[in-house]
Structure 1
Amino acid sequence: VDALETVATVTYLEDVREKVGLADKLFAAAAGALPLRFASPAKPSDIGVILFTSGSFGAPKAVVLAQQNLIANVAQSANFIDIDPDWVLFNPLPIFHSFGLTGGILLPLLTGMKVFEYPSPLHVKQIPPLIKDSRAAILLATDTFINQYARASDGDELAGLKFIVAGAEKVREETHNLIRDRFGGVPVLEGYGATEAAPIIAINHPDDNRRGTVGRLLPGMEARLEPVEGISGGGKLLVRGANVMAGYLRPDGTLEPPADGWLDTGDIVSMTDDNWITILGRAKRFAKVGGEMVSLTAAEDLVLSLWPENRHAVIAMPDPKKGERLILFTDRNDAAATAIVEHAQSLGAPEIAVPRKIVKVPEIPVLGTGKTDYVTIQRLAEVEGRRAA
């Protein structure tokens, strides 16, 4: 705060509260009774919000979302999954993240649902009882937090949910099974999005929940796959629709809109004929090992299937002989390459996707949203490499 006060005025809400007088209260009451008369003028193309991308793979970018982008994404989501205004939505996610903003604030606001906003997803023991007490029908969260809430739950505290919507990171089989076995089959609907798409691009459906996929492309969106050299069975996903951003905000204050409205997601995916999407990996999350393209996401999934109760991250580093090599960061103390090789052989997985170097850490670095912080892990790998040299 001391540093911020040299360049900005810091206002505390408790100080504002003391200054709220009768005139302010009368204005608020009148505006609540006659919202259209007091509404601020706005156009669909006006800036609704500027959000920064998570920065899990590189420097965050400033994304400008227009009012129409945000409204369109709510309408697309509500059109795909029927929303009952009598439901209660429980949102522990931060609203500086697009998932928490659109799913946790705008969706209930514009569909008439009640919503319980909790300030931090990190309060693992406090949240399950509140989910039950609030009679929540929907929970928004990431795989990491869903798994923790299920383990911390005392009894049937999540059993009253109609479904859980998960985004921002891949949902593990362990999480699906844990929720199913402990809470009477509550479905975990994995979705997929990007801040630049306000953010929801695809989501599974309560009546058609296909594990391993991130769901169906939302109504009103177009998609195309661009071939990627060395990768078969999928391509780089580009999407276009009313929810796609106005553009990136450049440092000089100008906008960089997506070319012809097409957003390059940077993700390698496969799509079925009915537009159900499976993520194969980020374009940046492929390594060229011995001349072959290897998905780092697939390598992580291989390790995760062996040790599902731990967290793992696989990155690639330059290798003078093979071009690149895979390095596993894990919080499992007894992790060994031989065990991974044997597991890969039992599954018929290619040994080229097995990380041979393992770095054991107390915990895998994550961002505030629960996503793996690959930028920090890459730095740790560079430090480890210098030590080895």
Structure 2
Amino acid sequence: MLSFLAGLVVRLLVRFRAYGRDRVPRRGGVLLVANRIGPLDRLLLRAACPRSVRILPDRGYDVAEVAAALDGGGCVLMFPEGAVSGSGHLRAFGGELDAVLAATTKSVDVVPACLGGLWGGRWSQSPGQHTDAAGVMFGEPLPKATPAADLRLAVEVLRADLALKLSDFTPLVHQGFVRTMVSFRGLFRPAVIDYAAGEKTLTGGKLFVGAICVTSYLRGRVGDAPNVGVWLPTSLGGALANLAIAFLGRASVNLNYTAGAGAVASAARQAGLKVVVTSKRFLMRFPLELPDDIQRIYLEDVLAAVTKGQQTRTFLMALLLPAWVIERFVLGLHRHKTDDVLTIVFSSGSTGEPKGVVLTHRNIASNVDAAVRTIRIEPTDTLMGVLPFFHSFGYTVCLWAPLVAGAAVVYSPDPRAAKDVGAIVKKHAVSILLSTATFLRLYLRRCEPDDFRSIRLLICGAEKLPVKLQDEFHARLGVLPMEGYGCTELSPVVSTNLPAVTVGGETQECNTRGTVGRPVVGVAVRAFTQEEREPLPPGTEGVLCAKGPNVMAGYLHQPEKTKEAVRDGWYNTGDVGLVRADGFIQITGRVSRFAKIGGEMVPLERLEDELHDLYGGTDRVLTVTAVPDEKRGERLVVLVVPEAAGGIGALLGQLRARGLPNLWVPDARDCYTVEALPTLGSGKLDLKRVGELARELAKV
């Protein structure tokens, strides 16, 4: 009766689904362990569980009494985190779990369970997005000897499986855009502030009108090709082009204007592009070298074709019609499916020819939803969009996330223009800045403390964020950068550190420096063996793999590479690291960044870290790579910028003093001075060019 009443109440409050109920043993002692989100947790789990269940409080229960209930064949639900999560992250499981299981004398099944869809809604600690669907999933029973850290990981994996189920009900991002902008509040609030050509501010209503007008212009001009190219900077024009392409049911291909002509031509060829949306103004700065049979559509022509009457009619439509009518009968978005391709993001080609990463509506919508819920992007926020849309982080978090969340976004096309970025952040009281370590170094030198006073959250990805750089940035500019982690193939957000939160008078730490944080809502990460891809327990180093609805559909026209990268839903990131017992992810290297010398593996990234630590400061002044060697297979090469070249010999000598094996220490004759280290548009090292340059200088 209690389960029936709980189910009735829950269904009145949320759209609720239960999965895996048959995995709960119908007889014998069963301990359910679940994550803790908010006030509906107990109701949902009681309604979903096929057995009568005793639910423990977060804390303060009698361990011996609970153990006796389990020995008597009862079903008990425990929340091992000990308190409601204040960040949406799955926290460490407390010692009470081990104590209860140790006190039992009979065989007990431990069943992981998880709740999903609640975080970020009205029934959690976050005031973010409205919950469209909620669910409970039960996992396979585990033996009672399973360590608490393994049980925590089992719940996290289960949460990713549940997120994949619930992603069927997540609104697609262009639907979310319409619903946000067409709301009465959204129509008249600033949505985009653009600095691509001067300063221009558009309200949600004007942005919606612009997107619809661009869609109308493109509808009869993009032809029948499923993919449409975009050659535009981080700007209002780039946002409108991507919105219109999504409305038309096509996949956008944002071409990398910082890459070489060969990489751009390869991307266009692989994607079968017949049309590219660009602007005459932008082409003057970044010429586009593609075959003449690829049509160019210029934004200047689009804007010239839009009449005042068209703008007025479109705005009145937004003002008078509900969003669902516009979605269904004007734009026909109901015909777009969750597994339709939304974008193809070409990898940087840092280690070879660019690969096309195919990302669907499910991938982007679920990752935007996870980012908005975990980072807590709210309508009151102003987000600084400096990362390019050809970068998956820029596409997902700088383009779609603020437009769906209803936050204002400021677009500035050049993240390297440090003084301009600082002035813009100060003028518009930006609260969220997404960046990279490379760009932080520029801001550190050229911005003033007052510029960043309004920022409440600064997250860096794409490359390692040194702790020294965090400290120096915090000391000078007053903001502590948080390190996050992502991969293009994962849409891209995987994990992030966050500021501490306080729940019920208790402070929950969500930032552990030297790690890339805990996984965002609906994503699981664990370490596997490299060859056999066997799962490893928490705290054990291996190759990191991720699971969730954000895992790509595959590599464009490369099914074999897709099968190699994704197995049983787990994507192999190629990064080496471990998942700690508390869920924080620590990356220790990259599979591809090892040299094999005399049969032994030498970690190049570790060597770089050691040399930078000895050099001091926060700037990246050198990189280590390997070139072929007839005697030992490979040998180490160091590329160093001029200001650090004079002391490189002394640094190498100090490596031995630190106890590193002689095999790991490069020869001073293999150190070469270069004017600058090769980098990509995102600021990451261009590993492909680093290798080419090293081979040129070493003459191999």
Q: What is the TM-score with the length of structure 1 in the denominator?
A: 0.91
Task: List structure 1 segments (4+ residues) > 6 angstroms apart after TM superposition.
Answer: 254-257
Classify 1:314/1:233 alpha carbon distance in 2 versus 1 (closer, same or farther; 3 Å): farther
User: Residues 124-157 of structure 1, C-alpha deviation per residue, up to 9 Å, x if partnerless?
Assistant: 2211111111101111111110110121013421
Partners of 1:233 and 1:258 lie apart in 2 by: 21
| Equivalent residues in 2 for 1:105-116, closer than 5 Å | 105-116=399-410
Letter in 2 for 1:191: G
The answer as to 2:654 corresponding to 1:343 is: yes
Of the two structures, which has the highest relative contact order with CA contacts closer than 8 Å and spacing of 6 or more?
1
Alignment partner, residue 580 of structure 2: 272
Partners of 1:2 and 1:137 lie apart in 2 by: 35
Letter in 2 for 1:144: T
The answer as to 2:450 corresponding to 1:156 is: yes
Alignment partner, residue 191 of structure 1: 484
Partners of 2:392 and 2:456 lie apart in 1 by: 23
Q: Quick one: which of 605, 625, 631 aligns to 1:315?
A: 625
Classify 1:233/1:260 alpha carbon distance in 2 versus 1 (closer, same or farther; 3 Å): closer
Q: Quick one: which of 534, 543, 554 aligns to 1:236?
A: 543
Partners of 2:289 and 2:652 lie apart in 1 by: 51
Native 8 Å contact 2:623 2:638 kept in 1: yes
Partners of 1:322 and 1:78 lie apart in 2 by: 50
Q: Secondary structure at the match of 1:89?
A: strand
Partners of 1:69 and 1:276 lie apart in 2 by: 23
The answer as to 2:610 corresponding to 1:324 is: no
Deviation at 1:365, TM superposition (A): 0.8
Q: Secondary structure at the match of 1:11?
A: strand
Alignment partner, residue 216 of structure 1: 518
Q: Quick one: which of 363, 367, 373 aligns to 1:69?
A: 363
Of residues 145-154 and 344-353 in structure 1, the stretch that sits farther from structure 2 once superposed is 344-353
| Equivalent residues in 2 for 1:1-389, closer than 5 Å | 3-4=289-290, 6-33=292-319, 34=321, 35-39=323-327, 40-41=333-334, 42-184=336-478, 186-207=479-500, 208-228=510-530, 234-250=541-557, 258-307=566-615, 308=617, 309-333=619-643, 334-356=645-667, 357-386=670-699
Native 8 Å contact 1:89 1:104 kept in 2: yes
Deviation at 1:281, TM superposition (A): 1.4
Classify 1:365/1:358 alpha carbon distance in 2 versus 1 (closer, same or farther; 3 Å): same
Of residues 72-81 and 109-118 in structure 1, the stretch that sits farther from structure 2 once superposed is 72-81
Native 8 Å contact 2:544 2:573 kept in 1: yes
Letter in 1 for 2:556: L
Classify 1:71/1:2 alpha carbon distance in 2 versus 1 (closer, same or farther; 3 Å): closer
Native 8 Å contact 1:310 1:332 kept in 2: no
CA RMSD of aligned residues (A): 2.4
Letter in 1 for 2:664: A
Deviation at 1:343, TM superposition (A): 2.9
Q: Secondary structure at the match of 1:284?
A: coil
Q: Secondary structure at the match of 1:378?
A: helix
Identity %: 36
Native 8 Å contact 1:190 1:204 kept in 2: yes
Letter in 2 for 1:278: Q
Deviation at 1:298, TM superposition (A): 0.5
Native 8 Å contact 1:51 1:97 kept in 2: yes
Q: Which has the larger radius of gyration?
A: 2
Q: Secondary structure at the match of 1:273?
A: coil
Partners of 2:397 and 2:475 lie apart in 1 by: 26
Of residues 239-248 and 75-84 in structure 1, the stretch that sits farther from structure 2 once superposed is 75-84
User: Residues 206-253 of structure 1, C-alpha deviation per residue, up to 9 Å, x if partnerless?
Assistant: 122222111112232233322248xx951111211111111111179x
Classify 1:219/1:349 alpha carbon distance in 2 versus 1 (closer, same or farther; 3 Å): farther
Partners of 1:268 and 1:193 lie apart in 2 by: 14
Native 8 Å contact 1:4 1:10 kept in 2: no
Q: What is the TM-score with the length of structure 2 in the denominator?
A: 0.52
Letter in 2 for 1:343: Q
Q: Secondary structure at the match of 1:4?
A: coil
Deviation at 1:348, TM superposition (A): 3.9
Native 8 Å contact 1:143 1:170 kept in 2: yes
Letter in 1 for 2:516: V
Of residues 135-144 and 342-351 in structure 1, the stretch that sits farther from structure 2 once superposed is 342-351
Q: Which runs of 5+ in 1 are unaligned?
A: none
Q: Which runs of 5+ in 2 are unaligned?
A: 1-286, 328-332, 501-509, 532-538
Partners of 2:691 and 2:386 lie apart in 1 by: 29
Greater helix share, structure number: 2
Deviation at 1:62, TM superposition (A): 0.6
| Aligned residue pairs, count | 383
Partners of 2:440 and 2:602 lie apart in 1 by: 29
Q: Secondary structure at the match of 2:574?
A: strand
Partners of 1:372 and 1:178 lie apart in 2 by: 22
Native 8 Å contact 1:327 1:355 kept in 2: yes
Classify 1:2/1:53 alpha carbon distance in 2 versus 1 (closer, same or farther; 3 Å): closer
Native 8 Å contact 1:44 1:67 kept in 2: yes
User: Residues 349-370 of structure 1, C-alpha deviation per residue, up to 9 Å, x if partnerless?
Assistant: 4443333221110100111111
Native 8 Å contact 1:31 1:37 kept in 2: no
Native 8 Å contact 2:656 2:665 kept in 1: no
Of residues 350-359 and 310-319 in structure 1, the stretch that sits farther from structure 2 once superposed is 350-359
Greater strand share, structure number: 1
Classify 1:76/1:371 alpha carbon distance in 2 versus 1 (closer, same or farther; 3 Å): same
Partners of 1:119 and 1:60 lie apart in 2 by: 23
Classify 1:70/1:3 alpha carbon distance in 2 versus 1 (closer, same or farther; 3 Å): closer
Of residues 73-82 and 102-111 in structure 1, the stretch that sits farther from structure 2 once superposed is 73-82
User: Residues 43-67 of structure 1, C-alpha deviation per residue, up to 9 Å, x if partnerless?
Assistant: 2111111111122222211111111
Native 8 Å contact 2:525 2:579 kept in 1: no
Partners of 2:288 and 2:378 lie apart in 1 by: 46
Partners of 1:76 and 1:155 lie apart in 2 by: 31
Partners of 2:634 and 2:570 lie apart in 1 by: 31
Native 8 Å contact 2:383 2:402 kept in 1: yes
Partners of 1:242 and 1:328 lie apart in 2 by: 40
Q: Secondary structure at the match of 1:15?
A: helix
Partners of 1:96 and 1:336 lie apart in 2 by: 38
Q: Secondary structure at the match of 2:672?
A: strand
Deviation at 1:89, TM superposition (A): 0.8
Q: Secondary structure at the match of 1:376?
A: helix
Q: Secondary structure at the match of 2:345?
A: strand
Partners of 1:206 and 1:355 lie apart in 2 by: 40
Native 8 Å contact 1:341 1:351 kept in 2: no
